[in-house]
Chain A
Amino acid sequence: MNSFQLLLQGFGVASQPMNILFVTIGGVLGTIVGMLPGLGPATGVAILLPLTFSLGPVGALIMMCGVYYGAMYGGSRSSILINTPGDGAAIAATFDGYPMSLQGKAESALAMSAIASFIGGSLATIFIALLALPVARFALKFGSAEYFLLYVFALSATASMSDGKKLKGFISMIIGLMISTVGIDPQSGVNRFSFGILELQGGIDFLIVIIAVFAFGEVLKSFKSITDGKKKIQTKFGKIWITKEEWKLSIWPILRSTPLGFFIGVLPGAGATIASLMAYSNEKRFSKHPEKFGHGAIEGVAAPESANNAASVGALIPMLALGVPGSGTTAVMMGAMLMLGLQPGPALFQQQSNIVWAIIASMFIGNVILAVINIPLAGVLVRILAVPPRVLYPIVLGLTFVGTYAIASSVASFYMLLVFGIFGYFMAKASFPMSPFVLAVIVGTNMEQYFRRAYKISNGDFRIFASSPITIILLVLIAGSFLLPVIQSTYKKWKNQRVAKA
C-alpha cells in the first residue's frame, strides 16, 4: 500500500466519533496547560498522560497529539496577551504579538496566530505523510551500530544546539544517560547503581523524571515570577478575525516559513523554538519594511507561528520512523508510546501501521478542531489566564503527584519526584538546558542495548562503529556537532578581536 492509501485508512480510524472527541478534549486541555507561563507541550503531555490510561493505544495517542498541538496553540495566547510565552517555541510570538495587543489589535494577532498555526500544521501533516514511509523504509537498513550512532548524533546535536551553554548541554545529556543505567541490567543481571535501595533496582521510570523536571521543576521556578506580581489581562474582545490586507501581508510569510519550520523540526536538536526564531528573522530580512518588526507587524506573528507548528509536526518524523526523538517534547511523546507498549521505529510502520497513520491523520483533524476552538473561543479560553497563578500552580503540583502515582502505583515514586524536581530546579537555575537531559533519560536504555549488541556481534571490536557507509556518515555528523560549537566560538572570538582592533 502506498502512503496515500495508508493515510486514507488512518483518516478512517481518526474520524471515528470517539477519536474526534479524544483529540478535542486533548486539544482543549493542552491549550489550557500551554497558556500557563513556563508550561509548554512537554509538560502538558507529561501531566495529562495519566488521563489516557484507560483508553486504548490509538485513543491515547490521538489524545496526546491533541495535547501536544493544543499546547502549541495555547503557548502563543499568553505570548500575545501578557507577553509571557508558555514555552520557548512561543517566544517569537511576543515580538510583534504583544505590541499588537498594546495597540488594541489583540483580535487580529490571536486570529492570525491560529490561522498561521493551522496552515503550518496542516501543510506539515501532508509533508509527514509523504516522508515518513520512505524514512522508515530506509531505516530498515540500520543495524545496531548504526542505531547507536544515530542516538549519539541526536543527543549531541541537541546538546550542541543549546545556545551559549553547550558544555552544560553535554553534561545534562550525560547525567540523563547515567539515570537510564540505574537498576538491574536486563542482559547480565548485574545490579547497577541502586546503592542497596530496593525501589531503584527496577530502574528509574523516565516518566517520573520527566514529570519531575518539567512540571514539578517549573512550579518551583514559578516562585520567583509569582512574587514579581501579575499582569493585567484583556478578557473582552471584539470579533476575532483578520482583515483582507492582513491576510495579503501574511500569506507568503506563512507559506515560506512552513517548509522552513518543517525541515528544522526534522533535524534533531533544533526544534520549534529555533524554527520560529529563524522564520521571524528571515521574514524581517525579506520584508520591505523591516522597521515595522517588533512594533506590531502582523507578518511577525504569522511567520513564527506557522514555523513552530510545522516544526512540531516535522519533529515527529525521526521519532515515529526511526524511534529517535529530536526534542524534549517528542521525547515525552515517545515515552508515552513506550508506556503504551509501542516501540517507535521502522518496525512500528510494518507491524502497526494502522496506529501510525491514525496518528498522522488525527494531526490533520486536530489542526482543524484547534483552529475552530481557538478562533471563536479565544475569549473564553484566555479567561484561564485571569485565574491567578497562585491557585493554578498548586493544582498543577497536585496533578504531578497523582500522575506519578498512576504511573508507579507506589509512594516511593513521590520521593523520586521530589528529588528529581529539586535537581531539575537547580540544573535549570544554573542554566543547564533540560532537553538533552530528558532526551537522554528516555533513549538511554535503548542506546546502551544497541551499543552492547554491536559490541557483542563484533566480539569486542570497536571498529564495527565505522564499518559501513551509514556509520561513517553518522560519525562525520557527530564530529560536526561536537566541532561546530568550537568553530563557532573561535570564529566569534576572532571576529570580536578584529572589531576591537579596528
Chain B
Amino acid sequence: MNTSMIMSVVVTMIGFVYTLSTFLLPDAKIGIANEPKIFPGILGISLLVLGAILMVQEIRLHVQESRSATKAKPAGDELKNILFTLLNGLLYALLFERVGYVPATFVFLDIQLFIFRGMKTWKSTLLISLIFSLVAFFLFNSLMGVYLPKSPLGFV
C-alpha cells in the first residue's frame, strides 16, 4: 500500500469520525437549536463522500500498477529521520518550560544537527547550537519582547 492509498483511508476515517461527532453535538440553548451542527454536518458528509471516491480511485490505480509490477522505492532513512525529529520535538516540549529556553534549545539543536549531519562534525554542531540558542534568546526575549522561559540559572 502506498502513502496515497493510506491517506485516502485516513481522510475517509476522519470524515466518518467528524460526521459522527457532529451528530452527537448538543443542541444550542439559544437561537436555532441545530445551528452549530449544520456547517460541520455539510463538511463531514462531503469529506466522507470525497474520501470514498478517492479510495475507489486509489484501489483502481493500485490494481493497474500491480499489473505493471512497478514498486515504490523504499524510504527507510527518510522515515527513520522523521521519527527521530518527532521524538526530538517531544523531548524539546518536555524540557522547554522545565529547564528554560536556552538549555532546551541547545539540546534540541544538538540532537537535530546530529540527525542531519552525523557525529563527525560534533564540535561545530555544539558551537552552532550554542550560538543559535543564545542569539535567538537575546533577539526574541530582550529585543522583541517575546516571553521565553529562563533556565534555573536565572540570567538566560
Which of A49-57, A274-282, A368-376 is near enough to bind chain B? A49-57
A292 at the interface (CB under 8 A from B): no
Question: Is B43 touching A178 in the complex (CB atoms < 8 A)?
Answer: yes
CB-based contact B116/A405 at 8 Å:
no
* CB closest residue in chain A, given B84: A223
A26 CB → nearest B CB, Å: 14
Most buried by A among B31, B105, B116, B128: B116
Q: Per a CB cutoff under 8 Å, which of A53, A223, A391, A409 touches B113?
A: A391
Most buried by B among A53, A171, A224, A226: A171
Q: Is A227 an interface residue (CB 8 A)?
A: yes
The reply to whether B31 and A187 contact each other, CB–CB distance below 8 Å, is yes
- A398–B93 contact, CB under 8 A? no
**Chain A min CB distance to B118 (Å):** 9
Binary interface encoding of chain B residues 1-37 relative to chain A, with 1 for a CB under 8 A from any of its CBs, else 0: 0111011101100110010010001101111100110
Contact A394:B109 (CB < 8 A) given known A167-B50, A188-B28, A418-B89: yes
- How far, in Å, is B99 (CB) from chain A's closest CB? 12
Q: Count A-B contacts at CB 8 Å.
A: 169
Q: How far is the CB of B108 from chain A (nearest CB, A)?
A: 7
Contact (Cβ within 8 A) A429 B3:
yes
Whether B38 pairs with A53 at a CB distance below 8 angstroms is no
CB contact between A390 and one of B31, B53, B116 (< 8 Å): that residue: B116
Overall SS of chain A's interface:
helix
Q: Any chain B CB within 8 A of the CB of A168? A: yes
Contacts of B136 in A (CB 8 A): 398-399, 402
| Chain A residues in 8 Å Cβ range of B29 | 188-189
The segment from A233-241, A301-309, A345-353, A450-458 found at the interface with B is: A450-458
Instruction: Give, as a whole number of angstroms, the nearest-CB distance from B73 to chain A.
Output: 10
Least CB separation from B14: chain A residue:
A175
B132 contacts the other chain (Cβ, under 8 Å)? yes
Shortest distance from the beta carbon of A355 to any chain B beta carbon, whole Å: 21
- Within 8 Å CB of A170, what residues of B? 50
Q: Within the assembled complex, what's the spacing in Å between the Cα atoms of A153 and B2?
A: 32
Tell me the complex Cα distance, A390–B136, Å: 19
Q: Interface residues, chain A, CB within 8 Å of chain B?
A: 50-51, 53-54, 167-168, 170-171, 174-175, 177-178, 181, 185, 187-190, 192-193, 195, 219-220, 223-224, 226-227, 388, 390-391, 393-395, 397-399, 401-402, 405-406, 409, 411, 414-415, 417-418, 421-422, 425-427, 429-432, 448, 451-452, 455-456, 460
A and B contact pairs by CB, cutoff 8 A, 23 listed: A170-B50, A178-B40, A178-B43, A181-B39, A187-B28, A187-B31, A190-B36, A193-B21, A388-B117, A390-B116, A395-B109, A397-B85, A401-B105, A401-B108, A411-B93, A418-B86, A427-B7, A430-B2, A448-B39, A451-B39, A452-B39, A455-B35, A455-B38
